[in-house]
């Protein structure tokens, strides 16, 4: 697989990474452990060198899974994980926490769970309004100096927060949602990242599965699948948003690829420092996603996609009100 460098950091990763959240959390029951390990190791064998986790995924179980799965080739991959939450006894998030000592505690625990001596990329999972971002960046800077972390990242941060953090400790990557059905980062974020030399790691690059074409208005989700709470996944919104997937399907058919591959190839074509991290629990979807790295979109292709997408008004908010309340920029 082709490699990309996240901004000016010198951190080289595969052009497409693997978002590992869904193996342990969020989209229904966790994947059986051995099946998950097989999928992660298959991704590596197929050229993926960038694996994304977080303490919140489980919580904790996803980091433990990656630690075991990637142990045989730990020095050949980049592992990203995150800090920024407290958890209650039941494992649910009980609030934001990016206080310096908490960041240190999370780093030490993550190192053990990941079975490693260094975290390649350590993101603040969500901006904590109670803690100045300078204190967060300074703490990670200290962890880098101590050799426990290599690179600093932010997730869902706004442009001014990015600038303030970057002034204390260079930010290697921003991870935020970006796809053909959520293009907000184009307005303010992408120009700032380009100016400062920061890489961009889009999560949910396939619209939480919707852009694959495998979900429609009749689809039902497991009771534990958080898409049940997402307004954009209401039956009415899915019905309205189907028009986008239909258009992607037409474009994909012309190039003899899949809608998912068009959606990922479009992201890759936006900037050379963008690295999407689609997640999956299925080997055939993994192969499909990896195949997107070989899909070349010409200027005419991109213009046709732009015209098609601009003709569709996406329905429904991307988060529930409760989830949206956790996003501070």
- Report CA torsion sign: 37, 108, 171, 176: positive
Measured from the Cβ of residue 238, the count of other Cβ atoms closer than 10 Å reads: 20
Q: Find all residues with CB under 8 Å of 203, minimum gap 6, and list them.
A: 19, 52, 175, 176, 177, 178, 277
Active site residues: 57
Distance CA 320, CA 317 (A): 7
CA-nearest of 325, 326, 329 to 85 is 326
| H or E segment to which residue 87 belongs | strand 85-87
DSSP, collapsed to helix, strand or coil, labels residue 227 as helix
Nearest to 95 by CA among 320, 317, 322, 318: 322
144 contacts 152 by C-beta, under 8 angstroms: yes
**The total number of residues written for the chain in this structure:** 329
CB burial class (10 A; 0-12, 13-18, 19+) of residue 76? exposed
d(CA 114, CA 53): 10
CB atoms within 10 A of CB 18: 27
């Amino acid at each position: 697989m082709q490699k990309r460098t996240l901004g000016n950091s010198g951190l080289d990763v595969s052009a497409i990474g693997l978002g590992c959240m869904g193996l342990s959390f969020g989209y229904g029951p966790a994947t059986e452990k051995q099946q998950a390990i097989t999928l992660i190791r298959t991704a590596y064998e197929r050229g993926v060198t960038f694996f994304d986790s977080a303490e919140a995924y489980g919580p904790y179980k996803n980091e433990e899974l990656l630690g075991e799965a990637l142990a045989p080739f730990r020095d050949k991959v980049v592992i990203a994980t995150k800090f920024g939450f407290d958890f209650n006894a039941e494992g649910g998030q009980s609030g934001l926490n990016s206080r310096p000592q908490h960041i240190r505690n999370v780093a030490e625990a993550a190192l053990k769970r990941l079975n490693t001596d260094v975290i390649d990329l350590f993101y603040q999972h969500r901006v904590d309004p109670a803690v100045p971002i300078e204190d967060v960046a300074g703490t990670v800077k200290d962890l880098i100096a101590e050799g426990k972390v290599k690179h600093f990242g932010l997730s869902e941060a706004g442009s001014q927060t990015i600038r303030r953090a970057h002034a204390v400790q260079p930010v290697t990557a921003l991870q935020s949602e970006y796809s053909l059905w959520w293009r907000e980062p184009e307005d303010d974020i992408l120009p700032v990242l380009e100016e400062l030399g920061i890489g961009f790691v889009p999560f949910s690059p396939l619209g939480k599965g919707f852009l694959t074409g495998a979900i429609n208005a009749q689809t039902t989700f497991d009771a534990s699948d958080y898409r049940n709470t997402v307004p954009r996944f209401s039956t009415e919104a899915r019905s309205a948003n189907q028009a986008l997937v239909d258009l992607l399907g037409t474009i994909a058919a012309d190039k003899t690829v899949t809608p998912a591959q068009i959606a990922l190839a479009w992201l890759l074509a936006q900037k050379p420092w963008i690295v999407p991290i689609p997640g999956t629990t299925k080997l055939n979807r993994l192969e499909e996603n990896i195949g997107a790295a070989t899909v070349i979109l010409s200027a005419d292709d991109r213009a046709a996609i732009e015209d098609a997408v601009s003709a569709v008004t996406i329905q429904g908010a991307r988060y529930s009100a409760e989830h949206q309340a956790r996003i501070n920029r």
